[in-house]
Amino acid sequence: MTARHGSSGRSEAEAAGGRREGVERRISPVLGESLRNIQAEVGYSPDIKIREVRLGSSPGIKAAAVHLSGLTDTQALNEFVMGSLLQNTDLLTDDPAVHLPDLLLGRALEIGEASIMDEWHDILIAILGGDTAIFLDGYTDVILCATRGGEWRSVSEPTSQLVVRGPKDGFVESIATNISLVRRRIHSPKLRMETMKIGSETRTPVVMMYMKGYASDDLVGEVRKRLEKVAIDEVLESGFIEELIQDKTITPFPTIYNTERPDVVVGNLLEGRVAVIVDGTPFVLLLPAVFTQFFQSAEDYSQRFDIAILMRIVRYLSFVVLILGPSVYIALTTYHYEMIPTTLLINLLSQRENVPFPAFVEAMLMEVAFEFLREAGVRMPRVIGQTVSVVGALILGSAVVEAGIITPIMVIVVALTGIASFAIPAYNMAIAGRLIRFAFLLLAGMFGFYGITLGLIVMVAHMNSLRSFGIPYLSPFVPLSVRGQKDTILRLPMWLMNTGKSPQQMRAELPKSMQVTTGHEATLSPAIQKNEELQQKRREEDSDEQE
Amino acid sequence: MGSVRIGLSQFFSITLLFELGTALVVNLGVLSGKDAWISILLGGLAGILVFLGYAYLYWKHPDLTFAGYTTKILGKAVGIPVSIAYIILYLNLAARDMRDGSTMLAMATMHHTPLFILSTLMILSAAYVLHKGIEVLTRTSLVFLLIVLLIGVFSTIMLMLSGSINLNRLLPVMETGIQPVIESVVRQNYMFPFGEMVCFTMLMPYLSNVRKGPWVIMGAMATAALLLSFTMALNIAVLGADIAQRSPLPLMPAISKISISDFIQRVDIFVVMVLIIGVFFKMSVFFAAALIGISEVFKLPYRKMLYPAALLILLISMLDARSFIEHLNEGGKLLYTIYPFYMLAVPGVLILITAVKGHFSERRPG
Amino acid sequence: MNRSSWSKPGRICLVPLALLLAVMPLFLAGCWDSVELNRRAIVSGVAIDRGETEADKYVLSFQVIVSEEISGEKARGIAPVALYTGKGRTMFEALANASRQTARFLSLGHVRVLVISEKFAREGIRDIMDVLERESDTRLTSLMFISKGQPAKDLMSTMTVFSKIPANDLVEKLETTSKQFGYNYRLEVDEVIRGIQLRGGGPTINGVQTTGDKENAGSNDNLKTIAPKAILRITGLAAFKDDKLKGWLEGETALGTALLQNQVKEFPSLVEDKEGGFIAFNVYQSTVKIAAEGKDPEHPLIIVNISQQAALKEGPSTLDYSNPEVIEGLSDRLTAETVNMIQLAVQEARRLGSDYIGFGEALRRENPRGWNRIKDHWEDIFQSCEVRIKADAVIRHTDMRSNSFQVNN
């Protein structure tokens, strides 16, 4: 179908395109011209399908349905759009008083969602998003039928954040499916959504979701504001947005939580957080996020509370081991050997005989090797990945010890930190820990416990200076809130938790002086400021061109 | 100034850490022998009384720092030089504290690391934290107060379990009468560490609650006095008065007596950690007080003078004395010659003027 | 516009850059205090002997652990420890002297045993203690010993059966004996210092000696026979006046002294049976309180309160142990035994002229002002003051049997 217009219309269309540069393209009442415009706009892409029909009795009204193959739900298109268009021929009259698009929309089309539009740009974006546009000869109004669909991955178990007990469904790449997964769990009119398109080229649908009355209006307003300020070309993953809306960019710590699990999103919505769902990725952003949140798992609420507390303590402990494990070992052996029990010391000493590297270098080498291993294991195809980790962990580890290059105890320490990093439920927090670990290693190698202590002070101060959408990162520990401890390291039994309040509600109850103001310009990250500047620049360029 | 407010719990923790600071590890109240713990308690009481004076000034001028109300009360011509004198005091105290800390660290574990390097690392960390703001400093103190207290509880329990505590070593109480205790209080304990609270006059405008704030700080001071007294009593009960008296850091040998079946042993590194944390926060508070003073007197942005002031503190601490003995000796002299002037005389005059003014201004309408 | 967007990241970069510049030289200059473990020679015990001349007054022998021999896979079959000796006018000089022979840094952080020779102890140990207390590397929890009648060095070079490191062996022996049978108890560096400072008294320090073939004690041959040729053993208590050794306490005297110092955990006590033979008790708890009545400090009254708990361990006689009166009678005699031990201990202390028991401290706690008046001649008062002993012993049970079995006839 497209081929007919293809070669013949090209030069003309290009000429038309050139002529119209900078001028708003409009829908022509002449059907052929509209279609050519569309073809030209998308660069004669083969996946744009145009089906020209004549409605009503001969000669009938010329019409054309335009859609993008692959993105549309073919069944819906065939049955409810094309079928209903061509079958309801008796409706058509030649009465000029009748507005044909309205008539069709109101009487003929069987599809559930359809609208009339006359903005060229919006129509184009809709077609590119998978809708079907029906052009009618003689009208500048276009009927848009929601036929979005096509092939998506079906809902399956999430690959990260696994649980032993709990729901097994995970988000997919389709935003509609993702919204439905949340909706299915909250049958409440308070669940609100706002859609926006982000990315000047990708025009990715992004949905901001919150519970009215749970999330504070300040927060919702602030998120909206920051989302609106995002100006980038492409949004391929929620990470793109995450980096642009967070409070601060220069920190290893994540200040926005992401999850693949609808139940986690629901739980957090009810705690007053805002979710940002981005089309094309199963990872949904939750904000604001505080430090403790990264140590919570959906399973904590499925298990008994005492067991959940134990699991949480284990996770925090694993974080401490992750960042301090190798550095404490270095500090102990090279600075404070007197603290090691004598028999253990003798053991370590005999291991260290004939090892060529200083303990610090040894630790660095092993840690870096472990990072190689982990990176290789993650990126490799799953089948080979396992081989890599077996080869790395078992063979490399024992060979290195056998060869007398590394002491066995160092392999133990490194393996322990490695395992500890997997015990942290949030991957991005684990990565942060892995990075910080090297800093502490350096400090311990140079200054022993002095370095470690100062490093800890600086790290905690840094975490204290962080905010996630105005919420102090270390709350509710610092600033201390006793009522806030219900769900941090502790996880109180449900009957005690239900009386709990969300961090936002708690914040609202604080004395005015202690409330943290959100949303003034000063807290915006440099990235956002840069974005604003970029936008400003673009606007100026645009205006230049127009002149 | 008014925008940042610091909560009461954070003020409590920063005050407590500031008071514990170096005092926790050094041989405080050493002049009174085995009754050091009494003189610490009395010193704390005296310190709280002195602080009531500062609190009075604060209640009269809740939005002003010490520099602010000095200028207001005494006028610009007198007030600004006085404020500058205080800034110098704070810089000096910060520097002295850092020298204390780095030397003790060098004595305890880092025998070969140059003092300059130890101090540089410390002041850089402090500068980083203060760069993030005073609020961040106080919040961080909350976390580290917890760590210090945990170490304290752990050590006490371990000492009990290893059977090193002998309360007989604290007896007889006041064997030579009350005089040495009083002397120790007068010469040292009311000033160190309690009189040093004068620098909180620079921080108090950040208090989130004008009415309760000073009381919380006094509560923290009282807690500090109790903890310090307890620690010193513990040191003496473990080591005996003589050894405790002769050790510059009695907490270290005391803690090193911990030995649980030769597995948990030589945990004196915890004392070193407490020392580092204490010195860090104490120094940072002085540093912050000086910075606030500078920014107020010279009308400069707070962060602008951060690194120059850090450099200044570093230099003062390095050039302060040739040896630790000289340093301590000098400190002892300052303690009862110069510091009373700063910590008692000037605030006393201010209180007097404020009170008299208040008295008359109340009379007039009536 | 451009300029402003440049300057902002620039300012952010400056601080880390400056920090990096500050830190880099530190890293290049090396880590001052860092010492790799395989550069250390861990000293497990130190023997301090009196040299012949003043120029080498201090002869220090360091027992260094050869770790590979103890837990390494590549053991060469050599001795598990090595002994290095240094001489000097001071302790520190002797240490420096010894380090010339060692390939690694002599690290004193794990010294568990300090042995001083009897000869030195008789001369005075004050000067030795100063460095032990002052040095930050050494630990206050090291145990002190006096080598009885032989050079301290010998004790550091005796091969032992159980712990490959002789110093550890000594520690373990002390712990065993103090837990079950003895009057020896853990005595650490700071306790010795406090003991020396005791007015009119001094510390009591555990003695140690080797018995048997001392010639070959230091070689593996020592252990090749089932009965080791030379054995390292704990002996009596060395009683000091100030910092000088005055005499040795053994047997019941030593036990009485340890009781008075409240350091005995468990010990066997024997009571003579009327029918001949002995009845043995295990005294598993004894608490001693020393108080003083000192209104007149020139003539104080020292009150020793002792309460004990015991269990019958061995009593092959015809006594009816199920009769409370019999048990009562036995506990009275147990009490008498204890009182006897304490009296012996006090007598010996008076004979040696040293109040290492701590009667003076008791008086000082009671009447500090009076004590100040008399402390200069406390020695005289100690010789003559009245001591009242209040003892109380309870026999809690007779273990797994009541009466002893008798030969049926």
What amino acid is encoded at B2 in this protein? G
Asked if the model's pLDDT at residue B153 lies above 90, the reply is yes
The answer to whether the Cβ–Cβ distance between C194 and B176 falls below 8 Å is no
Task: Give me the residue from B124, B172, B259 closest to C19, CB to CB.
Answer: B124
Q: pLDDT of B171-186, one tens digit each?
A: 888 877 788 888 888 8
Q: Are the C-beta atoms of residues A223 and A274 closer than 8 Å to each other?
A: yes
Q: What backbone phi and psi angles, to 5 degrees, belong to C151? A: -65, 145
pTM: 0.86
Q: Is A250 on the interface with C (CB under 8 A)?
A: yes
Sign of CA dihedral C219, C225, C229, C233: positive
Residue A537 DSSP class: H
The ipTM of this complex is: 0.93
How many whole angstroms separate alpha carbon B236 and alpha carbon B168? Answer: 10
B344 belongs to a structural domain = no
Task: Give me the residue from B110, B140, B276 closest to A460, CB to CB.
Answer: B140
The answer to whether the Cβ–Cβ distance between A447 and B121 falls below 8 Å is yes
Name every chain B residue with its beta carbon within 8 A of the beta carbon of A478. 10, 139-140, 142-143
B317 belongs to a structural domain = yes
Residues 6 or more apart whose Cβ sits within 8 Å of residue C238? C118, C121, C146, C148, C204, C205, C206, C207, C245, C247, C248, C249
Residues 192 to 251 of B: which have CB under 8 A from any A CB? 208-209
B251 belongs to a structural domain = yes
The answer to whether the Cβ–Cβ distance between A478 and B142 falls below 8 Å is yes
Predicted pLDDT of residue B280: 94
Please, which pLDDT band fits residue A547 given cuts at 50, 70 and 90? very low
Q: Are the C-beta atoms of residues A241 and A198 closer than 8 Å to each other?
A: yes
Name every chain A residue with its beta carbon within 8 A of the beta carbon of C35. 334-335, 337
Please, which pLDDT band fits residue B228 given cuts at 50, 70 and 90? very high
Q: Is B116 on the interface with A (CB under 8 A)?
A: no
Interface partners of A (3+ CB pairs, < 8 Å)? B, C
Three-state secondary structure call for residue B81: helix
The answer to whether the Cβ–Cβ distance between A457 and B5 falls below 8 Å is no
| Average pLDDT along chain B | 88
B349 belongs to a structural domain = no
Q: Which residue of A has its CA nearest to C167?
A: A342
How many whole angstroms separate alpha carbon C194 and alpha carbon A21? Answer: 98
Shortest Cα distance, chain A CAs vs residue B224, angstroms = 20
In angstroms, what is the C-alpha Rg of chain C?
28
Task: Give me the residue from A347, A351, A446 closest to C26, CB to CB.
Answer: A446
Predicted pLDDT of residue A524: 40
Q: Which residue of C has its CA nearest to A356?
A: C38
Asked if the model's pLDDT at residue A514 lies above 60, the reply is no
The answer to whether the Cβ–Cβ distance between C368 and B253 falls below 8 Å is no
Predicted pLDDT of residue A22: 40
Residues 6 or more apart whose Cβ sits within 8 Å of residue B182? B39, B42
Domain that holds residue B135: 9-333
Count of residues in chain C: 409
Structural domains in chain B (count): 1
Asked if the model's pLDDT at residue A519 lies above 60, the reply is no
Residues 6 or more apart whose Cβ sits within 8 Å of residue C279? C270, C271, C272, C273, C312, C314, C315, C317, C319, C330
Predicted pLDDT of residue A14: 42
B318 belongs to a structural domain = yes
Q: What backbone phi and psi angles, to 5 degrees, belong to B62? A: -65, -20
Three-state secondary structure call for residue C205: strand
Please, which pLDDT band fits residue A396 given cuts at 50, 70 and 90? confident
Q: pLDDT of A29-66, one tens digit each?
A: 888 888 888 888 888 888 888 888 888 777 778 888 88
Q: Which residue of B has its CA nearest to A451?
A: B121
Please, which pLDDT band fits residue C263 given cuts at 50, 70 and 90? confident
Shortest Cα distance, chain C CAs vs residue A259, angstroms = 31
The answer to whether the Cβ–Cβ distance between A472 and B139 falls below 8 Å is yes
Predicted pLDDT of residue A32: 85
Predicted pLDDT of residue C276: 80
Predicted pLDDT of residue A533: 62
The answer to whether the Cβ–Cβ distance between B122 and A454 falls below 8 Å is yes
Question: What is the mean pLDDT of the segment spanning C208-224?
Answer: 80
Shortest Cα distance, chain C CAs vs residue B110, angstroms = 6
Question: What is the mean pLDDT of the segment spanning C268-296?
Answer: 87
* Of C244, C315, C304, nearest in space to C274 by CA: C315
Question: Which of A349, A353, A406, A409 to mutate to probe the C interface, most C CBs <10 Å?
Answer: A349
- Domain regions of chain A by residue span: 3-145, 175-289, 305-472
Question: What is the mean pLDDT of the segment spanning A125-142?
Answer: 86
Q: Which residue of B has its CA nearest to A328?
A: B269
Question: Which of C21, C112, C134, C136 to mutate to probe the B interface, most B CBs <10 Å?
Answer: C136
Predicted pLDDT of residue C406: 84
Tokens of A375: 């990176």
Q: pLDDT of A340-369, one tens digit each?
A: 888 888 888 888 888 888 888 888 888 888
Pairing of strands A61-68, A132-136: antiparallel
How many whole angstroms separate alpha carbon A108 and alpha carbon A80? Answer: 9
Shortest Cα distance, chain A CAs vs residue C27, angstroms = 7
Which is more confident, A85 or B246?
Answer: B246
Tokens of B178: 């009350």
At which residue do the structure tokens 């002299």 appear?
B333
Report the CATH number that the domain containing residue B297 is assigned in CATH: 1.20.1740.10
Interface partners of C (3+ CB pairs, < 8 Å)? A, B
B75 belongs to a structural domain = yes
Shortest Cα distance, chain C CAs vs residue A333, angstroms = 6
The answer to whether the Cβ–Cβ distance between B266 and C22 falls below 8 Å is no
Question: What is the mean pLDDT of the segment spanning C182-190?
Answer: 86
The answer to whether the Cβ–Cβ distance between C193 and B117 falls below 8 Å is no
Cα-based torsion angle of the residue sequence A284, A285, A286, A288 in order, rounded to the nearest 10 degrees: 180
Q: Which residue of A has its CA nearest to B2?
A: A513
Residues 155 to 194 of C: which have CB under 8 A from any B CB? 188, 190, 193-194
Question: What is the mean pLDDT of the segment spanning A500-526?
Answer: 44
Q: Is C220 on the interface with B (CB under 8 A)?
A: no
Asked if the model's pLDDT at residue A5 lies above 60, the reply is no
Name every chain B residue with its beta carbon within 8 A of the beta carbon of A465. 132-133, 136
Asked if the model's pLDDT at residue A532 lies above 80, the reply is no
The answer to whether the Cβ–Cβ distance between B125 and A454 falls below 8 Å is yes
Question: What is the mean pLDDT of the segment spanning B331-336?
Answer: 83
The answer to whether the Cβ–Cβ distance between A335 and B273 falls below 8 Å is no
Q: Are the C-beta atoms of residues A134 and A63 closer than 8 Å to each other?
A: yes
Name every chain A residue with its beta carbon within 8 A of the beta carbon of C137. 338
Task: Give me the residue from C1, C74, C110 closest to A345, CB to CB.
Answer: C110
Which is more confident, A336 or C19?
Answer: A336
Name every chain A residue with its beta carbon within 8 A of the beta carbon of B129. 457-458, 461
Shortest Cα distance, chain C CAs vs residue B113, angstroms = 5
Task: Give me the residue from C197, C364, C365 closest to B242, CB to CB.
Answer: C197
| Average pLDDT along chain C | 85
Task: Give me the residue from B112, B168, B253 closest to C365, CB to CB.
Answer: B168
Q: Is B142 on the interface with A (CB under 8 A)?
A: yes
Predicted pLDDT of residue A275: 93
Interface partners of B (3+ CB pairs, < 8 Å)? A, C
Judged by phi (left if over 0) then psi (alpha if -120 to 50, else beta), residue C124 lies in left
Q: Is C109 on the interface with B (CB under 8 A)?
A: yes
Please, which pLDDT band fits residue B110 given cuts at 50, 70 and 90? confident
Name every chain C residue with its beta carbon within 8 A of the beta carbon of B243. 133, 190, 193-194
* Of A413, A443, A330, A326, nearest in space to C35 by CA: A330
The answer to whether the Cβ–Cβ distance between C365 and B172 falls below 8 Å is yes
Asked if the model's pLDDT at residue C30 lies above 90, the reply is no
Name every chain C residue with its beta carbon within 8 A of the beta carbon of A250. 12
B314 belongs to a structural domain = yes
Shortest Cα distance, chain C CAs vs residue A418, angstroms = 24
Predicted pLDDT of residue A6: 37
Name every chain B residue with its beta carbon within 8 A of the beta carbon of A513. 5, 208-209
